[in-house]
Amino acid sequence: MRVVIQRVSEAKCVVDQQITGSIGPGLLVLLGIEDDDTQEDLEWLAGKIVNMRIFGDENGLMNKALADIDGDILLISQFTLFAATKKGNRPGFTRAARPDKAIPLYEEMMRKLSALLQKPVQAGIFGADMKISLLNDGPVTILMDTRNKE
């Protein structure tokens, strides 16, 4: 699994002119899933996302996690995070998991993040043409890949 995590003041997802998810301060999480991903990858990544201390404390240092600021998560499926770009100019996406594998893991990630945060996670719609708007705070943008856990 790969994620792009952006610390935001606000973010929202719109599908067919309807808001599917909207948050105030928190994290916009773009999640890419590949065929080899496992429940272990999901558990590790969810824990890292929720506990990552990237919010400012009273001294302006990044010492607070989501729970410390009562922050929210907007989770968006993003298969293009596995784009292969070495050959030609059209990216290939063969590493991205097919929907039959990716949808259950995406839905499980929503449940796991909600359980860890102890509140609902906002989300987009898997496979939809989503319009994401955000106000990046910092900017703080972090890339993580479960293949680089150690």
Which runs of E-coded beta strand occur in 24-102?
Answer: 26-32, 55-56, 62-64, 72-77
Active site residue 141: no
Calpha distance 136→54 (Å, rounded): 13
Distance of CA 28 to the CA centre of its chain: 6
| Cβ neighbours of 52 (radius 10 Å) | 18
Coil vs helix vs strand at 80? helix
Calpha distance 77→93 (Å, rounded): 14
- Catalytic residue, chosen from 38, 80, 94, 141, is 80
Q: What are the residue numbers of the active site?
A: 80
